[in-house]
Structure 1
Amino acid sequence: MSVARLFTEDINLKPKKVRIEIQPVLGFSDEDKFGTIQPHGDTSVVTIRIGGYDVKRVLVDQGSGAEIMYPDLYKGLNLRPENLTAYDLPLVSFDGKVVILKGQIRLPVQIDLEMVEVDFIVVDVYSPYSNIVARPRLHTLGAISSTLYQKVKYPFEGQVKEILGSQSTARQCLVAVILHHPKAESSASAKGGL
């Protein structure tokens, strides 16, 4: 068979049909505010399934690049130091201090019927939250979150699914932080007062 004939046969192949998968549009409307206390300044605090347990007080933080697990959840899941793997990169807190790391652990996280393995950095600092779900996990889900609407929305099997935030839990966590640091100075007194 000649090269010209092979080339001609390849050109005469039927074009492949392009399969276009239509994804639902993710967004928020005023209807999404129903059931929330408005106006507010609350964080998004949700419940998700981690390691086979429903975990409350999960902070959804679009500003964080790392999934974090705090000591209370680590102990509550009956995890042991030998379950950790080394994590060498430094982690800096909001106030600019380097955080003490215990290591990293991979656990199954289930949202709806989807189960994925998530690497959590285990830290040894106080937090009223059990853990932080950050940008990497939100991006994996194709999710968008809104503190205003107290929801995380994500596409799942052609539908838009929601995870509802809990304003009462968010407010309890805020109070816990304030009570944990009773000797904190106000910014005015720290700068020399008014």
Structure 2
Amino acid sequence: MVLATNQISFTDEELPPEGRGHTLPMHIIVRCKDMIISKVLIDNGSTLNVCLISTIEQLNMDTSLIRPYTMIIRAFDGTLLEVQGEIELTIGVNPRFFVVIFQVIKVDSLYNMLLGRPWLHSAGAVASTLHRRLKYPFEDQMITVMAEKP
């Protein structure tokens, strides 16, 4: 017999009004440097956490904080992009704060940041794009973060 505690699960009652047929992206809102950042894409298919250079500029951060980091990545459309560097940022995904290493890229995008598997795994978070929810354990509670409304 196997007993599970602190398990993360999703139920049909948590499905969004659009039901199972939606293909909406999973965007959440985070806090960084006392600013709200919307359109943070949750992507469990990504091996990187990504922050756009334009987002860093909107945060009025000193770009000298971007450490050199050489890497070529393949974007969603198949094009190759050079990573501008990496930066460590503290982000709040209520109620918890996380220190995240982001690869910085310069590209036009529909999102401001991307949280991929590195963040999901370190946070112990599980995302359900079907349910448009993210769940992670924190202080003996299960935190549920809802996706932004489309």
* TM-score using structure 2 length: 0.88
* Partner in structure 1 of residue 101 of structure 2: 119
Q: Which ranges of 4 or more aligned residues in structure 1 deviate by more than 4 Å?
A: none
Q: Which of 111, 114, 125 is the matching residue for 1:129?
A: 111
* Partner in structure 2 of residue 66 of structure 1: 48
Report if the CA contact (8 A) 2:125-2:134 is conserved.
yes
Larger radius of gyration: 1
* Partner in structure 2 of residue 148 of structure 1: 130
Deviations 1:109-136 (A, max 9, x none): 1223432211111111110100101111
Question: Matched residues in 2 for 1:53 and 1:157: separation?
Answer: 25
User: Would you say 1:160 and 2:142 are equivalent positions?
Assistant: yes
User: Would you say 1:96 and 2:65 are equivalent positions?
Assistant: no
Question: Matched residues in 2 for 1:55 and 1:36: separation?
Answer: 25
Question: Matched residues in 2 for 1:80 and 1:156: separation?
Answer: 32
Question: Matched residues in 2 for 1:50 and 1:67: separation?
Answer: 15
Deviations 1:155-180 (A, max 9, x none): 11112111100241xxxxxxxxxxxx
Structure-2 change in CA distance of 1:36 and 1:141 (3 Å): farther
Report if the CA contact (8 A) 2:54-2:106 is conserved.
no
Aligned-partner SS, 1:73 = helix
* TM-score using structure 1 length: 0.70
Question: Matched residues in 1 for 2:33 and 2:81: separation?
Answer: 24
CA RMSD in angstroms, aligned pairs only: 1.7
Displacement of 1:37 after TM fit?
1.8
Question: Matched residues in 2 for 1:159 and 1:23: separation?
Answer: 11
Tell me whether 42-51 or 110-119 shows the greater mean CA deviation.
110-119
Structure having the higher helix fraction is 1
Identity rate, percent: 27
Question: Matched residues in 2 for 1:158 and 1:89: separation?
Answer: 39
Count matched residues.
Answer: 146
Gaps of 5+ in 2: none
Deviations 1:5-39 (A, max 9, x none): xxxxxxxxxxxxxxxxx842101001111x53223
User: Would you say 1:46 and 2:39 are equivalent positions?
Assistant: no
Aligned-partner SS, 2:73 = coil
Tell me whether 48-57 or 152-161 shows the greater mean CA deviation.
48-57
Report if the CA contact (8 A) 1:67-1:120 is conserved.
yes
